[in-house]
């Protein structure tokens, strides 16, 4: 990075770098000095944009929520109608790289603010799944338990270590979507 670029690092640059670092190296890599070194700037640049490491982590979590939940809901709500919404969401979810989600959950194991954010995101995602199931014809009393189970499968898929059991094809998702909306 040349000195002009270093001088013009934005809060967004720091946050994007933090999300990439978190996804690749986990929460232990979110040290101010290491982050600054990765961007080839001084630690002072960090403190120009953030009060402290806690403020930075909170803003990282908010950006993760925006990108991985709010933005996805908006995209589906504005581009797809009917039962296809659930299937589309499942295809997006089960085929995305979830290294950032895993790292966020690892952070949440030791950081209470992260744990609260993850719990809130989980609840919102489950409610959204439930809403899509109801829209697909599932009785409302059955939608929430099905949504919870489907979400647990989504979370648990990343813990499966045998790659032969982690791939979910489009055909599999179509079948699962039909199963969950019966």
Task: List, for residues 39-92, the tens digit of each pLDDT value.
Answer: 999 999 999 999 999 999 999 999 999 999 999 999 999 998 888 899 999 988
**What length is written for the chain?**
182
- What whole-number distance in Å separates Cα of residue 182 and Cα of residue 179? 6
Structure-block tokens of residue 137: 């014809």
**pTM of the predicted model as reported, rounded to 2 decimal places:** 0.87
Question: Residue 173 above 90 pLDDT?
Answer: no
pLDDT of 4: 47
* Averaged pLDDT score across all residues of the chain: 90
pLDDT band at 168 (very low <50, low <70, confident <90, very high): confident
Percent of the chain beyond pLDDT 70? 95
Q: Which residue has 């999300």 as its token pair?
A: 19
Side-chain half-sphere exposure of 52, counting CA atoms within 13 A:
1
The Cα 154–Cα 126 span in angstroms is 11
CA separation (Å) from 179 to 6, 28, 127?
A: 53, 40, 18
Q: How confident is the model at residue 133 (pLDDT cuts 50, 70, 90)?
A: very high
Confirm if 146 and 138 have CB atoms less than 8 A apart: yes
pLDDT, average across residues 4-22: 85
């Amino acid at each position: 990075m040349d000195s002009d670029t270093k001088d013009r690092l934005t809060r967004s640059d720091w946050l994007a770098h933090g999300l990439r670092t978190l996804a690749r190296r986990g929460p232990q890599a979110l040290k101010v000095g290491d982050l600054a070194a990765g961007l080839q700037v001084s630690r002072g640049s960090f403190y120009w944009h953030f009060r402290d490491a806690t403020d930075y982590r909170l803003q990282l979590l908010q950006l993760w929520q925006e990108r991985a939940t709010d933005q996805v809901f908006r995209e589906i709500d504005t581009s797809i109608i009917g039962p296809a919404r659930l299937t589309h969401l499942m295809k997006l979810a089960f085929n995305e790289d979830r290294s950032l989600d895993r790292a966020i959950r690892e952070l949440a194991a030791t950081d209470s603010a992260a744990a609260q954010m993850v719990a809130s995101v989980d609840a919102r995602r489950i409610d959204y799944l439930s809403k899509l199931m109801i829209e697909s014809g599932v009785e409302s009393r059955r939608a929430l338990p099905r949504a919870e189970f489907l979400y647990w499968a989504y979370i648990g898929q990343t813990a499966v270590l045998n790659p032969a059991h982690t791939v979910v094809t489009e055909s599999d998702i179509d079948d699962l979507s039909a199963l969950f909306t019966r």
